[in-house]
Structure 1
């Protein structure tokens, strides 16, 4: 399950992907439209800014805008920025791998094998789905994912 903060981050990025190129959206407008608490949204946008996904502008026409094209921001990047690794077990994490302390042998671990089958298709969908896809209502074709044996 993703955190509420991650869900809000995705909603904010989708909203930003829909603004006119060259313009910016004010935090209060995004908060109202997307029903996100403003203070919470400010924290989220700061994290996304620090990761190079959005930029802020000051002044009359200030606010936030995407720094990268929406087609280059994946759901996986956003989830990792907000929630951390996308893995149910540390031994399955790509970016934060750690051996499970109580595991005798991860290659024969029954629990790891089951969760590996679950996480791989999920990870593929998240890596392939962009903010632009979501904004356009395009879903990843699950048939295009490699089939599991």
Structure 2
């Protein structure tokens, strides 16, 4: 399940994807316009910055913007940065695989096999849709900007 952290991060990233080139967004404005607690958003944006998905400028006139074009940032990247692996259980994960302590036959485990299918389906959707796709879906009549610096 997507956590609030992941949901708020996606909302913030969609917000940034809709900004005009060269514009920077203030954390308070992003928080207010997307109903996100500011303190939580500060933490989320810090993680996204550390992952290279956003950049920040400090001081007067500072703020946040995308560090890459929106069409180059997959939804899966954002979710993984904020919420970790997509798999419902660790033995089905590609990036954080760990065998279950209670499993004697991983290759024949019906639970693992089903969770691998679920993980693959989630990854297929999230990794094949970009932040620009999300923005376009929620604002079909708007001019889209894909890069901010």
TM-score above 0.5: yes
In 1, distance between residues paired with 2:29 and 2:131?
19
**Structure 1 unpaired stretches of 5+:** 139-149
The equivalent of 1:17 in structure 2 is 17
In 1, distance between residues paired with 2:116 and 2:92?
7
Shift of 1:59: 3.0
* Partners of 2:74 and 2:127 within 8 A in 1: yes
Aligned length: 138
Shift of 1:78: 1.0
In 2, distance between residues paired with 1:100 and 1:55?
38
Moved over 4 A (4+): none
Q: Alignment RMSD, CA only?
A: 1.1
Higher relative contact order, chain-length normalized (CA < 8 Å, sep 6+) = 2
* Partners of 2:17 and 2:131 within 8 A in 1: yes
**Structure 2 unpaired stretches of 5+:** 139-149
* Partners of 2:93 and 2:119 within 8 A in 1: no
Shift of 1:58: 2.2
Q: Could you say what secondary structure the match of 2:55 adopts?
A: strand
Question: TM-score normalised to the size of structure 2?
Answer: 0.89
Question: TM-score normalised to the size of structure 1?
Answer: 0.89
1:81 matched to 2:81 = yes
Counterparts in 2 of 1:1-149, with a 5 A limit? 1-137=1-137
